[in-house]
Structure 1
Amino acid sequence: MTHYDVHGVSIPALGFGTWQLRGDGARDGVEHALSLGYRHIDTAQVYKNEAEVGAGLEASDVARGDVFLTTKVWGTNVAPSKLTASVDESLRKLGTDYVDLLLLHWPNDEIELEAQLVALEGVREAGKARLIGVSNYPAGMLRDALELVPDLATDQVEHHVFLEQDRLYDIVRERGMVLTAYSPLAQGAVLEDETIREIADARGVGPAQIALAWILGQDRAVAIPKASSAAHRESNLRAADLALEDDERAALDALTKNRRLVDPDFAPDWSA
């Protein structure tokens, strides 16, 4: 599996996402993912499963130091007066004294960006996060953040074969970051696309593997698909070793790339 060095820390290019996984599904999913060979686990405060993710880590035979663990600070907790305490609560639930990556989950324009980032840096300086970054920041906002904190590690955004992120790729490659793709399977839409299915059938693999391989074949790209079933976790992991041919990639590149699935009322102006 590809790993990227980001500011001296190794990030596995394929991770296990836990959005919408709750209770035993989250705990058992994390434990199973680690047993398969995943070494990158992604959660967030708002997923309400940090305790279960932590239980899965604890139940696993994999040492904590061998797992790249991400969580995210929800928008209501990004104020400097709240951020550190909220991170401490996340660490308590996760059963660890640090995360490998800590993200601001969504932009919050009600609180000065510099104040948010200074508080985030403080958590890192206290040893509670090895890397820090942002999520759901459009290109212009990411550049603003990098002016304040030049060594952010990633921008985690929706990205799949139906939604391009070229402007963000330009930035992360220029700055030695990675782009982390959530919803990399377009919430299941890749399973029904005729072009993807034709390529998958010809290769004797599943459409999800083709869609993941399209992302993972891009420079500085990380993907964190969620999988609620053991079979899907196994299938997704095999995509890490699947290389697309030039004609296959060209066919996928040609698909329309304007289908955004995650766009809540509080989302930023994506064109900014």
Structure 2
Amino acid sequence: MKTRLLGNTGITVSELAFGGVEIGMPYGPGVRSETDMLQEKEALSLLRTALDAGVTFYDTARMYGRSEYLMGKAFRNRRQDVQLCSKCRHLRDASGTLPASAALESRIRSSVAESLSALGTDYLDVLLLHQADEEILAHETICRVFQDLQKEGLARAIGASTYSPAESEWAIRSGIWQVVQLPYNLLDQRQDAVFGLASEKGVGLVVRSVLLRGLLTERGKDLQAPLAAIESHIRGYATLAEANGISLPEYAMRFALARPEVSSVLLGIDRQEYLKQALQCLGKEPLSNSLIAGGIPFPDPEFVDIPHWDRMGWLT
């Protein structure tokens, strides 16, 4: 497993980051309840197998059910071997409003305390805002509390999980947020616009949605009619990958890692076979120029919206 520096944080992470949402709560296609998930013993075995294989970077969140607890239990005696990234609870109330300053600070600090307790550690390597928008990124109290937590040694680095390129750019330019986790994949490459800026500012980039909830795998076939153009575009990637002797998921992962600004690629993993497949994709020579050039994004990237497709029932 190769490693990369996480921007200017001084933290070195594995190129593959283990995404912990699937082991913590029902999430993803075909997972409707806890009965569809790994049991605790299996999840612990999966986490330890990943670490033994060289995966040292683990992403979780207060909102991910039992994920933090499982990681804490799995790595109880190996804390020094892993980099733990967790995300604060959502900060807006049910109406979408941010609470007053004192309540906001209390919510952040209690969330971090809960994360540390569940993970069985006294510090996080990376503490992220969860679903950060520009108001949250710029909020004086939020910025101050996160910086205070870092000064107190509770987080080595602070950052934000963003969605739009505008949010990512604001975070990178702020001089406050040192790590940005953002969506990027073959179909939707809009965040490419901020990569150079992140490198210039020394901000570490962690890429998620690389496989687009599994659509950039064998599951990207026989999609419903509204996604016919998406399926056709995916078929083009698959044909190009096959012609070059690699699988579509490998193409998708290595395409993201071909960008030197990217520190790590985040994959949600909840099966030993998925871990094995991911590991087989890494540690290879850089992607060929023809494969990089062939990674043409979908012509309407704003249409690449998994939550919208879910709401419309197009992924069932």
1:98 has 2:123 as partner? yes
Query: What's 2:296 paired with?
Result: 253
Residue number among 254, 260, 264 corresponding to 1:213 in the alignment: 254
CA contact (8 A) 1:159 1:183 kept: yes
Residue number among 103, 107, 110 corresponding to 1:82 in the alignment: 107
1:239 has 2:281 as partner? yes
Change (3 A) 1:26 1:157: farther
Q: Secondary structure at the match of 1:236?
A: helix
Query: What's 1:4 paired with?
Result: 5
Q: Secondary structure at the match of 1:179?
A: strand
Query: What's 2:180 paired with?
Result: 155
1:230 has 2:256 as partner? no
Alignment of 1:49-128 (within 5 A): 49-58=67-76, 63-76=78-91, 79-107=104-132, 109=135, 113-128=139-154
CA contact (8 A) 2:183 2:209 kept: yes
CA contact (8 A) 2:150 2:156 kept: yes
- Give the CA deviation at 1:41: 0.7
CA contact (8 A) 1:43 1:71 kept: yes
TM-score by length of 2: 0.74
Cα distance in 2 for residues equivalent to 1:147 and 1:19: 29
CA contact (8 A) 2:172 2:197 kept: no
Query: What's 1:42 paired with?
Result: 59
Deviation readout 1:113-135 (Å, 9 max, x if unpaired): 12111111111111111111011
Cα distance in 1 for residues equivalent to 2:171 and 2:259: 24
Deviation readout 1:79-117 (Å, 9 max, x if unpaired): 212211210110000011111100001126479612111
1:14 has 2:39 as partner? no
Deviation readout 1:37-61 (Å, 9 max, x if unpaired): 21111101111121012112227xx
- Give the CA deviation at 1:254: 5.0
**Runs of 5+ in structure 2 lacking a partner?**
25-38, 93-97, 99-103, 221-233, 310-316
Query: What's 2:229 paired with?
Result: none
TM-score by length of 1: 0.85
Letter in 1 for 2:144: V
- Between the two proteins, the alignment pairs up a number of residues equal to 260
Q: Could you say what the CA RMSD is over the residues aligned between the two structures, in angstroms? A: 2.5
CA contact (8 A) 1:45 1:71 kept: yes
Which shows bigger deviation, 16-25 or 96-105? 16-25
Cα distance in 1 for residues equivalent to 2:239 and 2:271: 24
Query: What's 1:188 paired with?
Result: 214
Letter in 2 for 1:155: V
Letter in 1 for 2:23: L
- Give the CA deviation at 1:27: 2.9
Letter in 1 for 2:81: D
